[in-house]
Amino acid sequence: MKPRNETKKFRIIKKEIRILGVDDSPFPSHTNEEVMLVGTVFRAGNWLDGVLSTYIHVDGTDGTEKITEMVKNSRNLGQLGVIMLDGITFGGFNLVNIRKIFESTGVPVIVIMRKLPNFERIKKALKRFDDWEKRWANVLEAGKVYKVDNTESIYMQIYGIEREDAEDIVKLSTTRSAIPEPVRVAHIIAAGIVTGESKGSA
């Protein structure tokens, strides 16, 4: 049995690969309570198979643990090809560690970003926390940022998967906008549940 920290190699990317897309819900800027995370299980970008949810603390440090638990407790775990996150920052500055998510679940992680992140600005913002170095370590662990030329250019970070495989999966699951459907729909559902109706584009 291969160690879980090895990169997973896909001999072929199936057209119905199951992807778990994760995004958080909107929350008032003044709150320090919890924010909902929504996960959508898609067959590539064409078929919604299920919806998962959990809660994390705003500006907390429990994002990695809660996403890992949500995945491991799901009946879809054995069928998941990848986990796709809308960034690594949820609920304000609750940063997740994609290496730990992969090593705990055995499922490769792809981080989707609409724009190239400004790491200096992120680092500066994190310094208001006493444990900023630990939070910043999650940014460093996420690794290199890759540009993906799709219908529009987006960016990704990866763990547990080869770049070429990740790009193929991103392109396969992008069917209705510049953002892969699992992440786009997770955003819409999360916003709709919390605010009563989702607004704007994901």
* 149-162 CB burial, b ≥16 within 10 A, e <16: eeeeebbbbbbbbe
Domains and CATH numbers, the chain: 18-195 (3.30.2170.10)
Least confidently predicted of 32-46, 97-111, 135-149: 32-46
Task: Place 32 in a pLDDT band, splitting at 50, 70 and 90.
Answer: low
Neighbours of 3 (CB within 10 A): 7
Q: Is the pLDDT of residue 37 over 80?
A: yes
Side chain identity at 35, as an amino acid letter?
A: V
Q: Are 27 and 195 in contact (CB under 8 A)?
A: no
From residue 154, give the alpha-carbon distance in Å to each of 48, 49, 105, 112, 127: 23, 25, 26, 7, 27
Q: What is the pLDDT of residues 57-88, one digit of tens each?
A: 999 999 999 999 999 999 999 999 999 999 99
Q: What is the pLDDT of residues 160-189, one digit of tens each?
A: 999 999 999 999 999 888 899 999 999 999
Q: What local confidence, expressed as pLDDT, does residue 83 receive? A: 98
Helix (H) or strand (E) holding 148: strand 146-149
**Closest to 98 (Cα-Cα) out of 48, 13, 156:** 156
Q: What local confidence, expressed as pLDDT, does residue 200 receive? A: 55
Q: What is the pLDDT of residues 149-159, one digit of tens each?
A: 877 889 999 99
Helix (H) or strand (E) holding 166: helix 163-172
**Closest to 21 (Cα-Cα) out of 5, 33, 46, 38:** 38
132-158 mean pLDDT? 94
pTM of structure: 0.91
Helix (H) or strand (E) holding 94: strand 94-95
Q: How many CA atoms lie within 13 A of 127 on its CB side?
A: 6
Task: Place 26 in a pLDDT band, splitting at 50, 70 and 90.
Answer: confident
